[in-house]
Amino acid sequence: MLRAPFAIYPAVLAACVLAAGCSSTPEDKTAGWTPERIYSEAREELSGGSYDKAVPLLEKLEGRAAGTPLAQQAQLDKAYAHYKGGEKAQAIAALDRFMKLHPASPALDYALYLKGLVNFNDELGMFGWLSRQDLSERDQKAAKDSFESFRELSTRFPESRYANDARQRMTYIVNSLAQYEVHVARYYFQRGAYVAAISRAQTALADYQNVPAQEEALYILVKSYDALGMTQLRDDTQRIIDATYPHGAAGLKDKGDPWWKVW
């Protein structure tokens, strides 16, 4: 009889372990909150730049307010929080999910605009390429994805409040992508890879029309053809330059060669 307490000890111990485990579970401070209060708290975190704290609140709101406009707003705000927090993949996933679940949402134009912003790189321009030593390895997929999102927005929602900005960003992306191709062509030319330089310059001319980078692309073709002894193609291309740019890029020929001819 005296051994009975020891016989039940393992069970008591197990119960204590379970109780300890339960007590260590984080308390859900939002348990008694209304959806409106959760949203208010999430907006405060967003406004304060605490994007990592806003995301879990918005996720709770999605579940608590499922099927309501507030839940849709939570999905968009969560995508925005991921975007501002530098979590591009999560932002894109949240936006793709939103557009799949709510194809007729009045906020669809904003979702497309935000998706374009997530992929938009404002360092694509003149000096962004300097961040990579080998220009031929730079990935331009994000820029092209950004362009497609802005294009869909401006096509489907031409009167959207975001459409004008989207169109301006599209122009910037096209100019930047063309300039990138020209930078790569120059990279190859400077290393004596003239065939590769010709290929990239021709890509810039074929894929991007009426952009500032076209003159330099033609100039690289002239220099590359000359280096390869392809005099007929060199002279034909030079005639195109003379006919298309009689005064040089932006009238710079009268003031000396354009900046890129110094190399």
Range of the domain at 41: 35-94
Average pLDDT value over all residues in the chain:
82
Q: What is the pLDDT of residue 139?
A: 57
| Structural domain contains residue 106 | no
Confidence of residue 239 (pLDDT cuts 50, 70, 90): very high
Per-residue pLDDT, 122: 53
Is the pLDDT score of 68 beyond 70? yes
Residue 192: pLDDT over 60: yes
Residue 79 lies in a domain: yes
| Domain assignment of residue 72, yes or no | yes
Q: Which residue has the higher pLDDT, 130 or 79?
A: 79
Residue 105, in any domain of the structure: no
Side-chain half-sphere exposure of 249, counting CA atoms within 13 A: 16
Kindly report, residue by residue over 132-188, the tens digit of the pLDDT. Answer: 434 334 457 888 899 999 999 999 999 999 999 999 999 999 998 898 899 999 999
As a whole number, mean pLDDT of residues 228-250 equals 87
Residue 259 has a pLDDT of: 38
Beta bridge partners of 83: none
Number of domains forming the structure of the chain: 1
Residues above pLDDT 90, as percent of the chain = 65
- Residue 39 in any domain: the answer is yes
Determine the pLDDT at residue 176: 87
Whether residue 127 has pLDDT greater than 50 = no
* Residue 16 in domain: no
pLDDT over 80 (residue 221): yes
Please state whether the predicted TM-score (pTM) of the whole model is above 0.85. Answer: no
24 within domain boundaries: no
Residues 78-90, mean pLDDT to the nearest whole number = 95
What is the token pair recorded at 58?
């918005």
In-domain check, residue 60:
yes
Residue 230, pLDDT > 50, answer yes
